[in-house]
Structure 1
């Protein structure tokens, strides 16, 4: 996913993070300067759904305007057999438990 807040804000005439921060506060969403900087200039690690609602109301947009999918960045299986077996509902590989101290587990 790509975060598109800055472009959506610019399309609505908001050119500064502080202007958006002020408008968000008017709608009940008080954001610290550090968090606002992350939302404005980068790819935020987390965004609460309630915060997204307020951002969308302030900007008059939909969540799909703020979050743009990038399906080309998703790793895909390289072997055609892997794709077919996953599509057919093949069982995943078994998980083998291991001890943290490096010792082996007792026989089953």
Structure 2
């Protein structure tokens, strides 16, 4: 996911993080300068859903304008590490495990 707050704010004439911080505070979202810096820089550590509601209300935008999906960055599944899917009616291979958590002796 790409965080797009700065561009969404700029599209509405908000050019400074401090200006957005003031507008958010008017709506009850008082945040520290450090958290505001993280939101503004494009690399927030986390964002609460309630905070997203306030940000969207202040900017008059939807969540799709703030969060941009980047599915092309998701790695493809590994060829050798894939689990084998069992077909309908086929008996799956079951590996027994001990109940006490210890491993089984070598075969």
- Please give the TM-score of this superposition, normalised by the length of structure 2: 0.75
The residue matched to 1:20 in structure 2 has which SS?
helix
The residue number in structure 1 matching 2:27 is 27
Answer 1 or 2: which has greater helix percent.
Answer: 1
Q: C-alpha displacement at 1:83, in angstroms? A: 8.7
TM superposition outliers: structure 1 runs of 4+ over 6 Å: none
Counting matched residue pairs gives 95
Contact preservation (8 Å) 2:4, 2:42: no
Separation (CA, whole Å) in 2 of partners of 1:105 and 1:77: 30
Unmatched tracts of structure 2, length 5 or more = none
Q: C-alpha displacement at 1:77, in angstroms? A: 1.6
* Residue in structure 2 matching 1:105, options 92, 102, 105: 102
1:7-46 correspondence runs (5 A): 7-46=7-46
Q: 1:22-61: CA deviations, max 9, x gaps?
A: 0000000001000000000131121000000000000000
Root-mean-square deviation over aligned CA pairs: 3.1
Q: C-alpha displacement at 1:66, in angstroms? A: 0.3
Separation (CA, whole Å) in 1 of partners of 2:4 and 2:103: 53
Contact preservation (8 Å) 2:24, 2:58: yes
1:72 aligns with 2:69: no
- Please give the TM-score of this superposition, normalised by the length of structure 1: 0.75
The residue number in structure 2 matching 1:57 is 57
